[in-house]
Amino acid sequence: MKDKLRKTANEWHDVLTIEQFHVCRDKGTERPFTGKYHDCKDPGVYRCVCCGQPLFGSDSKFDSGTGWPSFLRPIADGNIDTDLDVSHGMRRTEVLCSRCDAHLGHVFEDGPQPNGLRYCINSTALVLDPDPAD
């Protein structure tokens, strides 16, 4: 079990933009095709914008046509948490950063085989690290 990173809402406001706070701490959703990574094919590791934890590798990113960055799998199972989300009259599985509990997006069961999963993630919650070895 990793150490959790915990901050108050005010502390998060100090380090995040309004949009980042809305998505990550207030479980918001960016409008499709507006995020900076939905169409990005650059190699690297996508980290949590709140705490820097590696979340998804560019090698598992695929073009889902939804307008949000979509991934087949997390970079490591322990790096994300999932939770049942019944808001907005839907039953969805929420995806969170396991370190700081940032809301990242949702995982759906309509992805490509063999896993059939589509991690639908807000660009706003991510920052692409093009050279993660450093």
Amino acid at 47: R
Q: Is 21 helix (H, G, I), strand (E, B) or coil?
A: helix
Nearer to Zn ion, 21 or 88 (CB): 21
Q: Which of 102, 104, 117, 120 binds Zn ion (CB under 5 A)?
A: 102
**Total residues interacting with Zn ion, rule: CB under 5 A:** 8
The CA distance from 89 to 55, in Å, is 28
Min dist. Cβ of residue 110 to Zn ion (A): 26
Q: Which of 100, 104, 107, 120 binds Zn ion (CB under 5 A)?
A: 100
The CA distance from 1 to 6, in Å, is 15
Segment lying near Zn ion (by CB under 5 A), choices 10-18, 38-46, 75-83, 98-106? 98-106
Min dist. Cβ of residue 69 to Zn ion (A): 16
Q: What is the largest CA-CA distance in the chain?
A: 43
- Give how far Cα 102 sits from Cα of 48, 52, 95, Å: 8, 11, 9
Nearer to Zn ion, 97 or 120 (CB): 97
Residues in 40-59 that interact with Zn ion by CB under 5 A: 48, 50-51, 53
Indicate if 40 belongs to the active site.
no
Segment lying near Zn ion (by CB under 5 A), choices 13-21, 68-76, 77-85, 96-104? 96-104
- Which residues pair with residue 70 across a beta bridge? 62, 120
17: number of Cβ within 10 Å: 11
Min dist. Cβ of residue 102 to Zn ion (A): 4
